[in-house]
Homo-oligomer: A and B are copies of this chain.
Amino acid sequence: MSKEPVEIVGIGNAIVDVLSRTEEEFLSLHQLTKGSMTLIEEEQAESLYQKMGPGTAVSGGSAANTIAAFAAMGGKAGFIGKVSNDQLGKVFRHDICATGVRFDTATLEDGPSTARCLILITPDAQRTMCTFLGACVWLAPSDLDEELIANAGITYLEGYLYDRPHAKQAFMRACEIAHAAGKKVALSLSDAFCVDRHRDEFLDLVQKHVDILFANEDEIKSLYQVKTFEEAVYHVRQHCHIAALTRSEKGSVIVSGEETVEVAAAPVAKVVDTTGAGDMYAAGFLFGLTRDMPLAECGRLASLAAAEVIAHVGARPQTDLAALLQLKKAV
């Protein structure tokens, strides 16, 4: 039985975030690099959890955040990712389905528990993440819903999938399915350290398989191993149809062929937690793009969505995004 096609299908790690406020000293004490994402084992996750402050648990995962927000804006979206048969898996599934996302990936029955990301928020609102991937590692090519991908306008992938062999195979297979069906592939580079771990493969991907690229300044500079943002822009222009490059409070730059669009960051009364800023940016951008809006308008929606999520703790929106964007006369 065929189901209604979606505009975007995201493939990524299915994670529940546990966010907690901390001081800079806690990071140095545990040898954590601020702003980075570190992969940890379950035992380390338990030990770090015991030491960290009171937490707030919210569904996360980079591509999943983007997909949930895209759906909250009123878009049709699907998600593919692996959770385990446990409490956190139930939470992840509930939360993404509750936004109207189609999420049919089979639950992992015998295996590690659902992924958790311990997120430490320092007083400067930066987030430092320690992720136990758990069940995510078991996402395999056989989990891909080929019909869903072939019928989606855009297949959206997160770079973090490259950290594990099974998931990486699924990633590559999804690119093939999308392109064979004449559809587009979008990629978020995820993290400068993740780029560092997989630079050659990411370069190859960006040159040959990615139509729409999302990256922040650090990530795109790391990809091309250049010192300035301008050099990175020069390179990426040759490789992707569209690249949306975010620069925190400096806004973003969208590069497409000869076109270069600079977008200001949307104002935020108080930046509380930057977790999910890039994910929301991608959601807003893709929402505009799938509605054939001009790049400047895509960027404006992206900035508004990012501004919503950095004003509170957690990477998923806490206000009615569709209403928020309408209020601003954006859609």
When distances are taken between beta carbons in the complex, the residues of chain B under 8 Å from A50 are: 94
**Could you tell me if B99 and A53 are in contact, using CB atoms closer than 8 angstroms?**
yes
Q: For the complex, give the distance between the alpha carbons of A123 and B57 in Å.
A: 22
A257 at the interface (CB under 8 A from B): no
A168 at the interface (CB under 8 A from B): no
A322 at the interface (CB under 8 A from B): no
**Could you tell me if B56 and A68 are in contact, using CB atoms closer than 8 angstroms?**
no
Closest CB of chain B to A23's CB: distance in Å?
Answer: 9
When distances are taken between beta carbons in the complex, the residues of chain B under 8 Å from A55 are: 58, 91, 94-95, 98
* A side interface size, CB within 8 A: 32
A21, A55, A269: residue with the most chain B Cβ atoms closer than 10 Å: A55
A316 at the interface (CB under 8 A from B): yes
Q: Which residue of B lies closest to A273 (CB)?
A: B318
Q: Which residue of B lies closest to A270 (CB)?
A: B269
Q: Which residue of B lies closest to A312 (CB)?
A: B312
When distances are taken between beta carbons in the complex, the residues of chain B under 8 Å from A54 are: 59, 68, 94-96, 98-99, 316
Closest CB of chain B to A97's CB: distance in Å?
Answer: 9
Q: For the complex, give the distance between the alpha carbons of A271 and B269 in Å.
A: 14
Partner of A57, one of B58, B99, B269: B58
Q: Which residue of B lies closest to A72 (CB)?
A: B54
**Could you tell me if B319 and A53 are in contact, using CB atoms closer than 8 angstroms?**
no
When distances are taken between beta carbons in the complex, the residues of chain B under 8 Å from A272 are: 312, 318
Q: Which residue of B lies closest to A123 (CB)?
A: B320
When distances are taken between beta carbons in the complex, the residues of chain B under 8 Å from A75 are: none
**Could you tell me if A21 and B88 are in contact, using CB atoms closer than 8 angstroms?**
no
A314 at the interface (CB under 8 A from B): yes
When distances are taken between beta carbons in the complex, the residues of chain B under 8 Å from A313 are: 312-313, 318
Q: Which residue of B lies closest to A57 (CB)?
A: B57
8 Å CB interface, A282-331 against B: 312-314, 316, 318-320
A108 at the interface (CB under 8 A from B): no
**Could you tell me if B53 and A56 are in contact, using CB atoms closer than 8 angstroms?**
no
Closest CB of chain B to A94's CB: distance in Å?
Answer: 7
A49 at the interface (CB under 8 A from B): yes
Q: For the complex, give the distance between the alpha carbons of A68 and B53 in Å.
A: 12
**Could you tell me if A88 and B91 are in contact, using CB atoms closer than 8 angstroms?**
no
Closest CB of chain B to A188's CB: distance in Å?
Answer: 21
8 Å CB interface, A240-288 against B: 269, 272
Q: For the complex, give the distance between the alpha carbons of A96 and B54 in Å.
A: 7
8 Å CB interface, A155-213 against B: none
Residues of A within 8 A of B (CB): 20-21, 49-50, 52-59, 68, 86-88, 91, 94-96, 98-99, 123, 269, 272, 312-314, 316, 318-320
26 sampled A-B residue pairs with Cβ under 8 A: A20-B98, A21-B318, A49-B94, A50-B94, A52-B98, A53-B98, A54-B59, A54-B68, A54-B95, A54-B98, A54-B99, A54-B316, A55-B58, A55-B91, A55-B94, A55-B95, A56-B57, A56-B318, A57-B57, A57-B58, A86-B87, A123-B320, A269-B269, A272-B318, A313-B313, A313-B318
